A and B are shown apart, each in its own frame.
Chain A
Amino acid sequence: MLQDILVTGLVNGGVYALLAIGFSLIFGVARIVNIAHTAFYMLAAYCFYTLLTKTGLGFVLSGVIAVSAVTAFSVLCYRLVIEPVREHEAAVLIATIALALIFQELMLYAFGGHFLGIPSTLEGSMRFLGVSIPYQRLLILVVAGVMLAAVWFTLYRTRLGLAIRATANDLEVANLMGMNVNRVAMATVAISVALASVAGVVVAPVFVVDPFMWLAPLVTMLAIVVLGGLGSLKGSLIGALIIGYVEAITVFAVPAGAYLKGAVALMIMVAVLLARPEGLFGVAFEEER
């Protein structure tokens, strides 16, 4: 059981980290609370499913096309829907909620409400420390690791990353220094949604695909981001691992744990917030000037 917990926690934590870091990034740079973030993850899963079963492209090609299509679509959504109402925080909020609902309903209309199964990308499993780990879960872990490394590289080793970090730090000063903050925000949206859609593509064969698959990870993701500190990438990563393990422990070790797993994860978040209102790695509140 211990090994089960260790492996499941790590895999789920990896998926959550992909989602949470993207969400955190876009919040940090553009102050957008993107409720539609996991809806893009759902869209990517559906896109992957369609490409795989209808066109007969290979797994890799379908995955790449799905991720790039959803990323391009997200930039379009940002330009058409979010940017015109950027100054009104409340409007941005419900614009993203409305987007998520629209995606959900469109998928419901196009594919129906039933669960869709995707054949496993990789068959077989390996034994490690006495637990059998299906290759598919291993793939999730590897992809999550690679993507996180890529994000780290982009943020800390490229000019774009420098611009993103500068904008997150202080939007106005970044603007005055000659950065095109709108374009930086757009690039951030693209990176963040690309992370979410990669997550959607790799988990699609493991989880079921249905139009409501965005809600459960949304709540968990928000819990992670708040737990780790809004806008803090390190916090999101550690928060994702904490929540991943907490959920795994609840499911494997507590009776009726499957029902309680979300509740326990959220209670951890509330407990952390009570002790540290800014989250584990968040910056302490700056009083308004």
Chain B
Amino acid sequence: MYQALTYPLRRGWAELRNEVLVLPSRTLVLAWIAALLALPVVYGDPYVMRIITMTCIFAIFAASWDLLAGYTGQVNFGHALFFGAGAYTSALLSLKLGLSPWLTVWAGAAVALLFGFAVGYLCLRLRGSYLSLATLAFPLIALGILFAFPDFSGGELGISGLRRLTVTPTGNYYVAALSMLVIVFALWALADSKFGIVLHAIRDDEVAARASGINTLRYKLMVFAVSGAAAGFAGALFAHYLRVAGPSTLEVALSFQVVIWGIFGGVATIYGPVAAVFLLYPLTEWLGSFRAFGELRLLIFASIVLLVLLFMPRGLAPWVRDKVETQCPRCKQRNGFWRKLCRLCGVPLKAEVSRAQRLVSHQ
């Protein structure tokens, strides 16, 4: 009886020990989730919570960009279009029709999904740099149209006076944090599934993928739509959190920002861009809080990005991961850096090479 009761606990502990704690990266993710969920309880400073709320929203945005640009290779320079579409749709619906923000956020994501389809459809024939530069145009076209009809869109000032999703800061924090966790893990699971393998194939060689019987057009459209929907959801959350949907959600600066986050963190990882947002966004806000640094905030941000890039051109997350983990040469499982033998197949991780062998193999 006792054993039956404690079984789930023991099972859970075994899973934790054997699957999570064996790898530094997984331990880190677990600690991060725990810290994220415990923050309002442990340290309820409104300023910190506000920054982390914004960080969570941008993390969704960066992860959605990575699915499209990192996995599928459709390097989108106009990802702000989806963010802005979500923000403006949700803002207009909730303000003009008086709908609850809990509904309009979904409507924002849905409209962004349609925008994703539209952009994806227009860009199906484009590749590489052409695609990047063409997608840069879409948010700017949208911005021009919004400015041409100021009665409808609020022009430069945007649509203000929105309702928040919940009244308390803690509530808003948990809405952002939980939706971030759910969406990021959903995107990660998607990218890790068979679907994600197809995306890798499309990025690496689209012709070969098509020759293998993959309908690459359909996959590209789907990925544009999914990524757009996630970004639109982030945009809608952003609009309701700041209570304003303005032209800044469509600007080139935001599109570039997400590219910086994505590449700085390491593309085609999902967790990389999220980590980059969690490092860079609070860092810039924190720098901005110093009066002496306030004006230099963006300068310091750009310099850090540049310097880090010179040392880790593949991005931050893959670099850290390679430092703390090694891959088993036989079964490709990842192992903690302290292990001598692979934790699954027992093969030595670093082959002992004698000096003579090294000399021979260098020929």
Chain A residues within CB distance 8 Å of chain B: 27, 33, 35, 81, 84-85, 87-88, 90-91, 93-95, 97-99, 101-102, 104-106, 108-109, 215, 218-219, 222-223, 225-226, 230, 256, 259-264, 266-267, 269-270, 273-274, 277-279, 285, 287-288
Contacts and interface: CB of A to CB of B under 8 A. Distances in A.
A277 B125 contact: yes
A91 B313 contact: yes
Contacts of A93: 75, 259, 263
B141 A285 contact: no
18 contacts: A33-B133, A91-B309, A93-B75, A94-B260, A94-B309, A95-B306, A97-B256, A105-B299, A109-B295, A218-B252, A226-B130, A226-B134, A230-B130, A270-B137, A273-B125, A274-B122, A274-B125, A285-B127
A178 to B, nearest CB: 28
A273 B126 contact: yes
Contact of A109 (B130, B299, B306): B299
Given A94-B305, A273-B126, A260 B144 contact: yes
Contact of B133 (A85, A222, A277): A222
B309 A85 contact: yes
B141 to A, nearest CB: 5
A81 B303 CA distance: 11
Contacts of A33: 129, 132-133
The 5 A-B pairs with the shortest beta carbon distances in the complex, nearest first, are A263-B144, A105-B299, A266-B137, A101-B302, A88-B313
Contacts of A84: 310, 313
Contacts, number: 133
B298 interface: yes
B263 A94 contact: yes
Contacts of B140: 219, 262-263, 266
A288 B205 contact: yes
Nearest to A264: B144
Interface of B: 75, 122, 125-127, 129-130, 132-134, 136-138, 140-141, 143-145, 147-148, 205, 207, 252, 256, 259-260, 263-264, 267, 295-296, 298-299, 301-303, 305-306, 309-310, 313-315
B143 A263 contact: yes
Nearest to B267: A90
Given A81-B306, A88-B313, A263 B141 contact: yes
Q: Is the interface of B mostly helix, strand, loop or mixed?
A: helix
A81 B313 CA distance: 11
A106 B299 contact: yes
B314 A98 contact: no
A210 to B, nearest CB: 15
Contacts of A264: 144
A98 B137 contact: no
A287 B136 CA distance: 24
A287 B128 CA distance: 12
Contacts of B306: 81, 95, 98-99, 102
A209 to B, nearest CB: 19
A84 B205 CA distance: 27
A93 B75 CA distance: 11
A105 B259 CA distance: 19
B134 A81 contact: no
Nearest to A112: B295
Contacts of A260: 144-145, 147-148
B300 to A, nearest CB: 9
A288 B207 contact: yes
A31 to B, nearest CB: 8
A226 B299 CA distance: 30
Given A81-B310, A219-B137, A279-B130, A94 B298 contact: no
Highest count of chain A CB atoms <10 Å: which of B207, B263, B264, B295: B263
Highest count of chain B CB atoms <10 Å: which of A27, A266, A279: A266
Contacts of B133: 33, 222-223, 225-226, 230
Contacts of B303: 98, 102
Contacts of A102: 299, 302-303, 306
A256 B144 CA distance: 10
B153 to A, nearest CB: 11
Contacts of A263: 140-141, 143-145, 148
Contact of A219 (B252, B267, B310): B252
A256 B148 contact: yes
A259 B147 contact: yes
Nearest to A282: B130
A108 B129 contact: no
B310 A88 contact: no
Nearest to B145: A263
